[in-house]
Amino acid sequence: MIELTGVNFKIGKQTIINNISLNIKVQECVAITGENGSGKSVLLKLIAGLASPTKGMVRNSFTHRGYAPETPPKSLHFTAQEYLMYMGKIAGMNKHQLEKRIYTLFNQFDFDFQQDYIHKLSKGNKQKINLMQSLLKEPFVLILDEPLSGLDPQSQENFVKYLKELKDKGTTIIFTCHEELLKDSLADRILIVEDKRIKEGQLSHKVLYRSIQFSGDHTKLFPVIKKSAGVETVTRLPNGSYEVIVKAEYSDIILLEILKMGGKIEFLSTRLTEKNTQTEGQEVL
């Protein structure tokens, strides 16, 4: 449980956070939003125990905490592997434990630059190291500042999926973000930082869909697809191929079914949409 009571935070004479009180429960998943410069990163640092309030009290009863700052490591003269080993040792992990964990994380993040120096890596790959660092010790609470920043769409999707798994296993997750994808698919609660204070936001109950366009023998494919879980519509497109709109969490199953039955995937929307609007010329099947 995390508890902030009457918290004020000043940088010099500037008040950044003014009299905030807040409770975050175990296993809660909280998104913190707000305009640029509103104080989200400062609030996260207070929650993580990396900054002390000017006034008031912060209590964080979680022992294993993972924190990924907004700015990934920049010009360190470590390779990716060395950096994670170093960070793990600081966190009290032993060599064997660490090597195993780092190997798992490199796979999880599809990261192929283990022996490259961090300062030579791209922004997105630095961000992956930053996130891996926060996950080293399998934290009970994960505190992430703009975790999707710099990641490509596929990596964003992979990471959101991974966070969902951690959430299902009971990890408390607190993150700042601007992206709908992260907020909508993960948050149980939304907090908005505004005018140095905090207010509860509205959860959107959007159902997310993906569009899969495919070609193949529709007499074989349609009966299976139409009765599959999560499928909303199947349409024939003007170019002769077909489109299925499916709830995002079922899209992998449908993709597999299409491929198993000899179908060919022509296009897959990487962007999750609320629901696709049909364009003129499509025939609903």
Ligand X SMILES: Nc1ncnc2c1ncn2[C@@H]1O[C@H](COP(=O)(O)OP(=O)(O)OP(=O)(O)O)[C@@H](O)[C@H]1O
Q: Which residues contact 173 (CB under 8 A, 6 or more apart)?
A: 29, 30, 141, 142, 144, 163, 166, 167, 186
Least CB distance to ligand X at residue 42 (A): 4
Query: Tokens standing for 161?
Result: 């999926």
Q: Residue 85 or 198: which CB sits closer to ligand X?
A: 198
SS3 state of residue 36:
coil
| DSSP state, residue 176 | E
Cα separation, 251 vs 245, whole angstroms: 9
Between helix 80-90 and helix 95-108 the angle, nearest 10°, is 130
Least CB distance to ligand X at residue 231 (A): 38
* Contacting ligand X within 30-59 (CB under 6 A): 34, 36-42
Least CB distance to ligand X at residue 73 (A): 18
Facing residues of 236 across strands?
242, 283
Compute how many residues bind ligand X; rule: CB under 6 A: 11
Least CB distance to ligand X at residue 191 (A): 12
Q: Residue 1 or 11: which CB sits closer to ligand X?
A: 11
Q: Residue 42 or 91: which CB sits closer to ligand X?
A: 42
**Within 13 A of 182's CA, how many CA atoms are on the CB side?**
26
% helix / strand / coil in the chain, to the nearest 5?
A: 35, 30, 35
Residue 89 phi, psi dihedral angles, 5° rounding: -65, -40
Q: Does 16 bind ligand X (CB under 6 A)?
A: yes
Least CB distance to ligand X at residue 71 (A): 10
Task: Lay out the site mask for ligand X across 59-98 (x = CB under 6 A, - = otherwise).
Answer: -----------x----------------------------
Taking CB under 6 A as the criterion, the residue among 1, 6, 11, 207 binding ligand X is 11
Binding site for ligand X (CB under 6 A): 11, 16, 34, 36-42, 70
